[in-house]
Amino acid sequence: MRLVAAFSLIGIVATPAMAFELTKKSEKTEKHSLHVPDKVAPAVNPYLWCRLQSLGATVNGADGKPVKKLAEKGGDCSALRAKAAVQADALLTKDGQSQDERAKLIDDTLKSIDDFAEEMRQAMTAAGEKVGK
């Protein structure tokens, strides 16, 4: 399953491809992308959603309905990050990957989510939005 979302100042809508768009008030569009490996997506998506919700974004699923509220604006997602790592490791263990391969993929994926959330925070701030952590 590949998660893709389109991000605007109004909110986030999950769609099946991985590109996020941020539309600034000046009508300028910036594209930021994030790739979440299919093998770990079920484990790490809640962490991604939490990070985006903590910025004040609304996250909708592929069906267009809001995903479960995981964080308030400015909320802490560290517990979900730790849970995502454990769940992703379990998924990759079933897939037969070595401990080193699992650790690298998990670390890289979580870092990508963190980097993406920071890009979104900076873009939203530049657009004049008040954002959480």
So where are the chain's domains? 37-126
pLDDT, one tens digit per residue, over 58-87 is 888 878 888 888 988 889 999 999 999 999
What was the pLDDT predicted at 36?
92
Amino acid found at 24:
K
Range scoring the smallest mean pLDDT among 4-18, 51-65, 116-130:
4-18
Confidence bin at 45 (pLDDT 50/70/90): very high
What was the pLDDT predicted at 37?
94
Q: Where are the alpha helices (DSSP H) in the chain?
A: 41-54, 78-94, 99-126
What was the pLDDT predicted at 85?
98
What was the pLDDT predicted at 10?
36
What was the pLDDT predicted at 57?
86
How many residues are there in the chain? Answer: 133
CB 4 within 8 A of CB 17: yes
Range scoring the smallest mean pLDDT among 39-48, 75-84, 117-126:
117-126
Predicted TM-score (pTM) above 0.85: no
Contacts of 95 (CB under 8 A, 6+ apart): 39
What was the pLDDT predicted at 40?
96
Q: How many CA atoms lie within 13 A of 13 on its CB side?
A: 8
In the structure encoding, which two tokens stand for residue 117, read together?
């959330």
> Helix axis angle, 99-126 relative to 41-54, nearest 10°?
20
CA angle 114, 109, 24 (to 5 degrees): 45
